[in-house]
A = this chain, B = another copy of it.
Amino acid sequence: MKDNKKAHDIFTKFLKNGKNRITPERFQVLDVALEMEEHFGADELYLQIKMNKINVSRATVYNTLELLVQCKLLVKRNFGDNIAKYESCFERKRHDHLVCTDCGKIFEFTDTDIYPIIDKICTESNFEFNNYSFNIFGKCKDKSNCTKQNENLD
C-alpha cells in the first residue's frame, strides 16, 4: 500500500471543516480509489470494493467520491461517454487528455500554456476559477498502436 497518510490527513481536515463525520467507510473508499488504475467509474470502484470483501454500499461510494472531489484528492472527468470518471490527483501533476475516437485509448499530456488563457478568461468574465476540463478528440495516427475497437469505421 502506498503512503496514504497524507491523503487521509487532507480528507480528515476537509471532513471536520465541513461538519461531515469521520467514518471508516469513507477512508476505505479513499484507499481503494488511490489504488485504482486511472480513470475509473464510480460503479467500477464499487465492484472493486466488493471484490476486496470490504462492505461499503453503493450509496456511500457515490457520496464519498463527491466529497473526495470537493477536497481535491480526486478529479471528476468525462470523456464523452456520459459516464463520470474519477482520477486521483493526490501528489500528481495536473494534466489533460487526448481521446482516440477509433480505439478509445486515452493519452495524457501536460501543457502549461493553457493556464494564462484560463486566467485571462476568468478575469474578463469576473469568474472565480475552480476547475477546468480540456479534452482533445481525434485519432492515433500511429495505427500499430491503435487497436481500433470500432471496425465499422472508414
Contact = CB atoms under 8 A, between A and B. Distances in A.
A136 B127 contact: yes
Given A82-B78, A111-B117, A136 B129 contact: yes
A49 to B, nearest CB: 21
Nearest to A116: B113
A151 interface: no
Interface stretch (A7-15, A50-58, A139-147): A139-147
Contacts of A76: 80
Contacts of A141: 126-128
A36 interface: no
Interface in A102-154: 107, 109, 111, 113-114, 117-118, 120-122, 124-142
A121 B133 contact: no
Interface in A2-20: none
Contacts of A130: 101, 137-139
A125 B98 CA distance: 9
Interface of A: 76, 78, 80, 82-84, 98, 100-101, 107, 109, 111, 113-114, 117-118, 120-122, 124-142
Given A109-B124, A127-B138, A132-B136, 6 more contacts: A78-B80, A82-B82, A98-B127, A113-B117, A128-B139, A132-B135
